[in-house]
Structure 1
Amino acid sequence: MTRPAARPLLWLACLLAVYLCAPFLASIPQIGQADWTHVDWRATWSAVAVSAGSASVASLAILIGGVPLGYWLARSDSRGMALLGFVVQLPLALPPLTSGVLLLFLLGPYSWLGQLTNGALTDSFAGIVLAETFVAAPFLIVAARSAFASVDPVYDDVAATLGHRAASRFFRVMLPIAWPSIRAGLVLAWLRAFGEFGATVMVAYHPYSLPVYTYVVFGGQGLPAMMPLLLPTLAIAVLCAALSVAWRGGRGNLFNAADNGDTADSLASEPARPALPNPRLAIALRRQLGAFDLDIEWMPSTRRLAIIGPSGSGKSLALKLIAGLERNEMGFVRFGGAQLDALPPERRHIGYMPQDYGLFPHMTLARQLSFPVDADPSSARYWIEHLGLSALTARLPHQLSFGQRQRVALARALSRHSQLLLFDEPFSALDTPRRRRLQQALRALQREISAVTVIVTHDPDEAALLADEVLVIEHGRVLQSGTVDQVFGQPASLQVAALLGLHNVGEGTMREHGVVDTASGLSIATANRSIPAGERVMWRVSPSSIAISAHGAQSGAVDAVELRHGDPYVVLNVGGMRFDVAGDGALAPVSEPASVRFDIDPRGVSVWVDRARAVRCDSVSSASSSAA
């Protein structure tokens, strides 16, 4: 049933469809008026052969040159390529006779090329091919450019990290993905060449092509004698339409996904793999893209790593620089004793898993895992079995659920025996239960393999689960790095605390007897007496160490009661500062702020020196002294 909102569109579509079908219907009553007795079938079939042959040769030439041209027009942003893209479309806007006149300037008997070939390029089969190529090529070039422009660059990136060079990536990945649209453009180019009249009649009147022969018969004998010549043209049109429908019917439904199989099986020990002696990653990354400038350094000492930051902070760019997919302008990427900077991505021997997994849409699961240049069949079989993919090997990506795609991409990266694995927000597209299960599966996998894993994420919980060391970045700069315990336990600034989703964190000044004076005027006692008075500090209060009671020493207002992971938390407002307090499960929702009193257990208060704030103050003091 058609929705009311779509009916105007349906009527417009029907109106145009009726108009396009009307000429064919109008020709049916005229069939009886055709002059069948005087048809020169030998000349007719000769003209059909000339048109079909010249259109096929022209289409082959257009395919050979037009696909690479469309690819570079889609990939290049230079002004020269933009101008070239404009010029190659001009034949679409020119009247066919005008195209023929322009071709005479190049191919005619008085042009330098015509004199060089002794006039062989006009009034010949070659002249027909050249004329048809000129007018029909834009159909394929435009289709190829649009097709390549719509192919996600992540496929090329993934193929590079799987060891394939540029030519292999083009013929085995980019071209197959773009081929359905290119094929449609090729059919249009062939039909345009087959039916070309204006340019052909100017360049090569002889031998007769079917359009030219039809024109000659019409001019000499009239409409009845010309009508039988429509049969070959209609037959070819019907054949092309049938092929188009058949090709369309054979396409898979891109939105058809499986609905099960997202629970990862338990992982057994991985087959033996060649390992570097205690490999470690060290990076210094410099890259400027427009107004964005990335400048980070990191030399972690463990194997399970995470880069965390908000959207637009440069996390994915950092991962691409490590993989060699973007140019590192002034820095280095070292892994173990190997310097990766001078190596292209196909020679860095890494496993790379982008955000949307980068599964090639034209390859089955089995082909995905055999695609890496150094694919190990035994390793591929192992990961297929242990990631629960054995029943899915013949499926295409669009036939898999999100969780299954994630495991296929993971198996593909692991089947290379890479010692460096890069994961770009691998679980961002999954719902929470499924994400948690697969995170646990990946954590178990990390314990089984010796590879260094780098996880890019904006989820602090994910970073804490999957990493031993984290790098916190924002706006392309490092805010803090260190072990998970250090960074989460003692964030370097309120900015870091906010990015990590930490609550009950603030700045203050240490007073004698272990009391911290906060900016809001609240004084918080701590059991830590090791920091001298006057030191600038950061502090954090455990939600479970705050007790609401009628006789509490501090006062505040209850703003809300929130559920987190099913547990209630009371949100207190104390002098403009927010405190989260662990609830007891019997709290009712709050409709308006209510005054309460509370106590803070000093044993639940962490205090550490605010070195970042001290550095900022020293910088300001130095600048003021210099100005003075």
Structure 2
Amino acid sequence: MRPMPRAVKGLACLLGLWLLAPFVAGMVRLGDADWSGVDRAGLVRAAGVSMASAGVATLLIGLFGIPLGYVLARGRGWWTVWLGGVVQLPLALPPLAGGVLLLFLLGYGGPLGGLGLSEHFGGIVAAEMFVAAPFLIIAARSAFAAVDPVLEDVAATLGHRPGAIFRRVSLPLAWRPILAGLVLAWLRAFGEFGATVMLAYHPYSLPVFTYVAFGEAGLPAMLPVLAPTLLLAGLLMVAGHWLTRPVARGAAPRMAPLPLPATRERAEASPRHLALAIHRDLPGFTLDVTLESRTRRIAILGPSGSGKSMTLRAIAGLEDVAGQVRLDGGDLSPLPPEQRAVAYVPQGYALPAHLTVARQVTFATDCVPERAAAWMGALGLEALSGRYPAELSPGQRQRVALARALSRRRVDLVLLDEPFSALDAPLRARLRREVLAVLRGMEALTVLVTHDPAEALAMAEELVLLDGGRVIRAGPTADVFARPGSELAARLLGAEAIGDGVMLPDGRIDLGQGVGLLVRHPVGEGADLPPTGTRVRWSARPYQIRLAKDGAYPARILWRGTVRDGQRPTRLRLGDAELEILADPSCEADGACRVTIDPGCLQVWPAA
């Protein structure tokens, strides 16, 4: 644990001492207490009234205040801001002023005077609710705001309706701060004097009884009254601390990483037809995606902020967009998320912290227990069934999220939002292979969002490139990689070594200085090349241009960098193009060389 700054500790201790000092002073004067003049029966009645009224007030505050806190946390618009300000008004008022306002409302001449709450136990409860409610509402709002909305979104895609999501996800995750707010509200209600004395002087609550005792007999008679008051408050504070303490689950036992299970190859299922026409306007950004695809696995690739995740959420029904989402001719747009039969795995996996692995996997409303057990076994999760998300590695969390999504009775769409982005490279490669093996042969259509071209190439049959909320290229994955259509698309696909040229009749690109770069294999392919004479741009990845003594193309090394990770950055001239490549550490010094480039790895597009 890192040490705290001395100034911070000093300031904290000073305030703590100031808060403790009055209690110490009172304890010192207990010997002066006049116990003989105490109305013990009245004291017991007053204490009972305060405890009962504070309890009733806290129950009512919880019943109405917890939903209000949720509304304030999730609501949007001016009315939410206005309502949040109204909630805090009682904190800004002196308690006596609050009591006067309550008299205007509940007094004999007020609009609700007929309820008869003035000088009544109900009036004490009403006054305590008015002054104590903000403590619970503010705590609930902060607690619900800290709950990731994605957890609620995933619960919706698993078939849960809004009420069930609130009860099973939002409330359990926010419960401990809310419980602390309830304790604070009870304490504030228990000690309320100003509003109570204005609205309901009788029956005596403990604060009013204390005030009356002071007026009649002075300080010596106050001490016997303060002692039980402090005792009750202290007991409740201890109970509140015990109820709201963090639950120490302990660290997960150290275990060797579970091996990924072997999977059997299955025949590919028939294609599914997905048609998108979605539009949404946001400040500074417009999503406008039109797409039609007949395949089993689609990857959406694009830079950060291009609209990839929003598109995926629109398919799941989690974004309010205009347009249509159609699957095999059926329109999903009117359906809420819980009725779309989607298996949604968001970034971060969205595993509620209060559920064990076993409960996570069976969380869907239409979960098939036998299927959940089968997926837990297939993904190596059986030994983890009693663990919580905090006790899992990123790879294990990823597998839990996948098993949860696939354990439903019916899944038509598998939506994966950058499922491997948080993993290290070796684990990412292993899980990529594992997930691909799971997806093959499934009846569902898979849509994968990624910013990694290699991931898209490995997992998708069709590829969609997004930029600025619009589709800039779509088609079979191999075709998109080979013919990106524009330099922007090529760079999204990882192009780094880029040159210019002119198409020749034999499927080569004239790079200048007599170098003709072969783009297609001699037989069959290449019908989609730009016409002869077209000025084009071309690219290859740095590691795809290799130095070789028997290489097909003459080149010249211009510069050699320092070896990094077993490779030497090298700049060379090929025709009129200067390219950055990654060469073997032992490559020759500057000068003439030869290079080889696989025609199948080249990307070609018309120059702008």
TM-score (norm 2): 0.91
Q: Deviations over 1:526-551 (max 9, x none)?
A: 34698654223343458566547799
- Asked if 1:336 is matched to 2:332, the reply is no
Match of 1:123 among 119, 122, 126: 119
Residues of 2 paired with 1:276 and 1:48: CA distance?
73
CA distance in 2, matches of 1:110, 1:545: 91
1:156 aligns with 2:152: yes
CA contact (8 A) 1:257 1:399 kept: yes
- More deviation in 297-306 or 183-192? 297-306
Counterpart Cα distance in 2 of 1:287 and 1:508? 40
| SS state at 2:322 partner | coil
Deviations 1:282-319 (A, max 9, x none): 22221222111111222222212211111111100000
Compute the displacement of 1:575 (Å).
9.1
Q: Is 1:283 aligned with 2:276?
A: yes
Preserved CA contact (<8 Å) 2:264 2:437: no
Asked if the contact 1:303–1:452 (Cα under 8 Å) also holds between the matched residues in 2, the reply is yes
How far does residue 568 in structure 1 lie from its aligned partner after superposition? 4.8
CA distance in 1, matches of 2:48, 2:536: 89
Selected match of 1:299 from 292, 295, 313: 292
Bigger shift: residues 20-29 or 122-131: 20-29
Match of 1:526 in 2: 517
1:390 to 382, 386, 390: 382
Letter in 2 for 1:67: I
TM-superposed CA distance for 1:323, in Å, is 0.3
Question: Which residue is equivalent to 2:69?
Answer: 70
Cα deviation for residue 450 of structure 1 reads 3.0
Larger mean Cα displacement after TM superposition, 211-220 or 418-427: 418-427
The separation in 2 between residues aligned to 1:381 and 1:223, in whole angstroms, is: 70
> Is 1:309 matched up with 2:302?
yes
Aligned to 1:597: 592
1:378 aligns with 2:370: yes
Structure 2 contact 352–389 (Cα < 8 Å) conserved? yes
Tell me, in whole angstroms, the C-alpha distance in 2 between the residues paired with 1:368 and 1:608. Answer: 44
Q: How far apart in 2 are the matches of 1:285 and 1:112?
A: 52
Task: State the partner residue of 2:312.
Answer: 319
How far the C-alpha of 1:32 sits from its partner, in A, is 1.1
Q: Distance in 1 between matches of 2:425 and 2:46?
A: 66
1:504, CA displacement in angstroms? 3.1
Q: Deviations over 1:449-471 (max 9, x none)?
A: 33221111111111111112111
Deviation for aligned residue 1:348: 0.2
**Correspondences of 1:534-549 after superposition (within 5 Å):** 534-540=533-539, 547=547
8 Å CA contact retained: 1:558, 1:573: no
SS state of the match for residue 310, structure 1?
coil
Partners of 2:428 and 2:602 lie apart in 1 by: 34
Show the 5 A alignment for 1:506-517.
506-511=499-504, 516-517=509-510
**What's the secondary structure of 1:201's corresponding residue?**
helix
Question: Structure 1 residues 562 and 501 mapped into 2: Cα distance closer, same or farther (>3 Å)?
Answer: farther
Mapping 1:545-564, distance limit 5 Å: 547=547, 553-558=554-559, 560=561, 563=564
CA change 1:498–1:262 in 2 (3 A) is farther
Cα distance in 1, alignment partners of residues 418 and 296 from structure 2: 18
Q: Distance in 2 between matches of 1:50 and 1:422?
A: 57
The separation in 1 between residues aligned to 2:392 and 2:202, in whole angstroms, is: 57
1:604 positional shift: 4.1
The Cα offsets for residues 384-436 of structure 1, whole Å up to 9 and x where unpaired, read as: 11211112212221121211111111110010141211010111111222222
1:477 matched residue in structure 2: 470
Secondary structure of 1:112's aligned partner: coil
* Structure 2 match to 1:191: 187
Aligned-partner Cα distance in 2 for 1:447–1:94: 65
Map of 2:5 onto structure 1? 6
Paired residue secondary structure (1:80): helix
Q: Does 1:86 align with 2:111?
A: no
- Work out whether residues 261 and 403 of structure 1, in 8 Å CA contact, stay in contact via their aligned partners in 2: no
Q: What do residues 492-532 of structure 1 show as CA deviations (whole Å, max 9, x unaligned)?
A: 222112111124333432256766345xx666403469865
Match of 1:489 in 2: 482
Aligned counterparts of 1:259 and 1:443: Cα–Cα separation in 2: 29
TM-superposed CA distance for 1:279, in Å, is 3.0
CA offsets 1:114-166 (integer angstroms, 9 cap, x no match): 1x33xx11001011111111111111111111111111110110010001111
Q: Does 1:210 align with 2:206?
A: yes
CA contact (8 A) 1:514 1:525 kept: no
1:572 and 2:572 equivalent? Answer: yes
Distance 1:287 1:346 in 2: 22
Q: Distance in 2 between matches of 1:384 and 1:555?
A: 56
Alignment pair present for 1:610 and 2:599: no
User: Does the residue aligned with 1:610 lie in a helix, a strand or coil?
Assistant: strand
- Could you list the per-position Cα deviations for residues 224-246 of structure 1 after superposition, in whole angstroms to 9, with x for gaps in the alignment? 11211112221222222212332
Cα separation, 1, equivalents of 2:554 and 2:587: 22
Asked if structure 2 preserves the Cα contact closer than 8 Å seen for 1:263 and 1:434, the reply is no
The structural deviation recorded for 1:248 is 4.2
CA distance in 2, matches of 1:22, 1:265: 61
Q: How far off its partner does 1:320 sit?
A: 0.3
Kindly state the Cα deviation for residue 82 of structure 1 after the two structures are TM-superposed. 0.8
For 1:342 and 1:257, the matched residues in 2 are separated by 44
Does 2:260 match 1:265?
yes
Once residues 513 and 217 of structure 1 are traced to their aligned partners in structure 2, the CA distance between those partners, rounded to angstroms, is 108
Secondary structure of the residue that 2:321 maps to in structure 1?
coil
**Once the 2 structures are TM-superposed, how far is the Cα of residue 587 of structure 1 from its aligned partner?**
4.1
Alignment coverage as a number of residue pairs: 596
Alpha-carbon deviation of 1:28? 2.1
The answer to whether structure 1 residue 404 and structure 2 residue 396 are counterparts is: yes
The question of 1:363 aligning with 2:358 is answered no
AA at the equivalent of 2:559:
V
- 8 Å CA contact retained: 1:560, 1:572: no
Distance 2:73 2:286 in 1: 26
Q: Name the % identity.
A: 47
Counterpart selection for 1:180 from 176, 180, 193:
176
> Within the alignment, does 1:453 sit opposite 2:454 as a pair?
no
Residues 354 and 260 (structure 1 numbering): CA distance in 2 closer, same or farther, change over 3 Å?
A: farther
Between the aligned partners of 1:586 and 1:302, the Cα distance in structure 2 is 45
2 CA distance for matches of 1:348 and 1:227? 67
Distance across 1 between alignment mates of 2:601 and 2:193: 86
Moved more, 309-318 or 500-509: 500-509
- CA deviation string 1:552-580 (max 9, x = no partner): 8544512535656x555534366995524
CA distance in 2 between partners of 1:140 and 1:544 (Å): 62
Are the aligned partners of 1:550 and 1:598 in contact in 2 as well (CA < 8 Å)? no
| Corresponding residue SS for 2:472 | strand
Give the structure 2 partner of residue 620 of structure 1.
Answer: none
Q: Distance in 2 between matches of 1:353 and 1:258?
A: 27
Q: Secondary structure at the match of 2:298?
A: strand
RMSD between aligned residues: 2.9
Is 1:244 paired with 2:240? yes
Stretch of structure 1 that moved more, 174-183 or 187-196: 174-183
Return the alpha-carbon distance in structure 1 between the equivalents of residues 23 and 232 of structure 2: 14
- Unpaired segments ≥5 residues, structure 2: none
